[in-house]
Each structure stands twice: as C-alpha cells, then as structure tokens.
Structure 1
C-alpha cells in the first residue's frame, strides 16, 4: 500500500490549518477506499475527505437536502470525470421538463 502525504500550512480567516493529501486510503467520513483524498472537510477545516463526501458537505451547506433531484443529479456525476456537458445534461434532466431535455439532446448530440 502506497501512502504519500503532503502537509500544507494555510491561513484561512486568520486560522492556521494543516490539511494532508493522502493517496490510497479510506475516507474518514464514509469509510470508502479511494485513490486520493482531495477535498477539505467543511466540518473542521483540517480533515481530508473523498470528493463525494466533499460534494455532499457543499450541497448540505447550499441547502440541497437528501432526496432532492438536483442533489442526486450532481452526486451522480461525482467521481466519473464528467464533462461540463454531462453535468449540464444531468441538471436539465433533473428538472423533469421534457421540452428542455429534448432541446438539450437536439443541440448537444
């Protein structure tokens, strides 16, 4: 198991933080094994977490609750290396507007 860590000292709103970038580890929030922990947790501004957990924390902060169609569409794109076109398509599909989906498909496919 390869472990690589970088320690950065950063100042955010006057408080020093030291996030670590860790490869081939488990996410401390969800326990899922990932290649890299790249997101900084909003909970304590010190813990590095997986992209999916980082996105979930950001969506919680934005007020998009569990079960929201927009939240589910965004989370479906996380970790897939999705393109801007795929993300926009997911957002359009989440609206449920048939005309908008037909228009998007006609102009992007």
Structure 2
C-alpha cells in the first residue's frame, strides 16, 4: 500500500487523518499530525524521541521512556527507572 499523505510504501494504513477525518494514512504521518495538534513542533526533542519509536515495534514502556529521556530531567529519568525495572 502507498500512504496518500507521504507517498511511501507501507504494510498497512491504520491511522485516520485529522485533516479530513476520512483518509487512512501511515503510522508516521498519523503520529506527525497528532504531534502537530499537540503543539510539538519540528525539531522538538520530545517530538523526535516519539517519532524515533515509530515502526520499530516499540512497547508503550519504551515510548514513555523515550519521552522521559527527551526531557533531560535527571530526576524524571531516575524515577522512571525505579518504577519500571
């Protein structure tokens, strides 16, 4: 399949576009639209950490850890480690 938004070949289209609420798009495009809606702009470290998890089969825990790591907050990283290991 080809994503109608980015044009890349993908195995599936399982994200609903926020633009028209009709078009199915790839995971990465869907995530980018959600991040735009949340105000996380291009180049944001949190945005980059989230996008880095797409397509590699990451677990919710891995995605959360990436977000916490992206903040650079030492206490938050220690707290995450203590509560998730």
TM-score normalised by length of structure 2? 0.85
Q: What's 1:56 paired with?
A: 32
Q: What's 1:77 paired with?
A: 53
Higher strand residue share:
1
Q: How does 1:1-109 map to 2 (within 5 A)?
A: 25-109=1-85
Ranges in structure 1 where 5+ consecutive residues have no aligned partner: 1-24
Cα distance in 1 between the residues matched to 2:65 and 2:16: 27
TM-score normalised by length of structure 1? 0.69
In the TM superposition, residue 37 of structure 1 has moved relative to its aligned partner by: 0.6
Higher helix residue share:
2
Q: Which has the larger radius of gyration?
A: 1
Q: Which runs of 4+ in 1 moved over 2 A?
A: 98-109
Ranges in structure 2 where 5+ consecutive residues have no aligned partner: none
Q: How many residues were matched structurally?
A: 85
